[in-house]
Amino acid sequence: MIFTVVLVVISALLLLIIGINIFQQHKQRIDSERRVQHQRQRAIIDETEAVLDNIALFPCSDDVMIVLYRRLAEAVEIASNVAQQPKQQEYQRRLIDLQNQIQQLLSSNTKAPSIDSIQIPDNDKQLITLVKMLKKLKAILRVEHSKGKVEPSIFTVEENRINNMQLRINVDAMLDRAKVAKNMKQYGSAKQLVHKALSTLNAIKLKHPEDPFITLKHKEAKELVNELDGSQVKNTPAPSVKLNGDTDIDALFQPKKKW
């Protein structure tokens, strides 16, 4: 009888231990999934905030701003559901602020400024920041469009606008590099860069024939080509003149002809 009781107690303890282990493993798995989900949403939040922090370098329409803020709000909401206190309360306060900003944007109708009014930064640090921001913005728009959160017409307009700006930056950079190569008397490299810039300008001109940027940079590129041609002529050594006949001195040292 005692043996049976002991056996039952041991069995109950074993079941309890197994149950506790299963519960702990389940809790650890849930905690791990929550951490992974939080990290994923945190990455989305950081990426979107990085674009918004530098949006002044490339002012956008309210349509784009709404896409960005909605993406941010969605990530913040999911993060608040998986985060621990007090981080959860912080996310919830942030979500309320974002929802208010979205409502303000929905009630306004601000169009994107003309791309001609956007200046390409002279500062290298700002220029690199702009290039990175445009790349991230394009990637975000594509992701949100694939989810059906951006209307096709808005996506097409905004992506073309970003592409146009990227081409402008590319042209500007190529012309600057061509000028540096010219100053270093690397005329071949300079010419190659200028011709690449002209090809890019012609590509932009097909879509934007009246673009003042095209006219300005095309003129700058042509002037640079003329300068390069002039510099090459000045720095090219005069070709040696080959005489058709032998000179008198040469004749003295030639073997005598046999008659």
pLDDT at residue 94 is higher than 80: yes
Q: What is the mean pLDDT of the chain?
A: 85
What pLDDT is stored for residue 215 in this prediction? 87
Backbone angles phi, psi at 220, to 5 degrees: -60, -40
Mean pLDDT across 15-38: 87
What pLDDT is stored for residue 142 in this prediction? 96
pLDDT at residue 83 is higher than 60: yes
pLDDT at residue 255 is higher than 80: no
User: Which tokens hold the place of 186?
Assistant: 């690397």
User: Which tokens hold the place of 159?
Assistant: 């992506």
What pLDDT is stored for residue 233 in this prediction? 58
d(C-alpha 161, C-alpha 114), whole Å: 9
What pLDDT is stored for residue 232 in this prediction? 62
pLDDT at residue 177 is higher than 80: yes
- Cα dist. 96→38, 48, 86, 87, 102 in Å? 19, 17, 16, 15, 10
How many C-beta atoms lie closer than 10 Å to residue 52's C-beta? 16
What pLDDT is stored for residue 15 in this prediction? 87
Split at pLDDT 50, 70, 90, the class of 250 is very low
pLDDT digits (tens, 9 = 90+) for 192-204: 999 999 998 888 8
d(C-alpha 171, C-alpha 169), whole Å: 5
Split at pLDDT 50, 70, 90, the class of 98 is very high
Candidates 130, 73, 120, 126; CA nearest to 96 is 73
How many alpha carbons fall within 13 Å on the CB side of residue 194? 23
Q: What is the pTM of this model?
A: 0.77
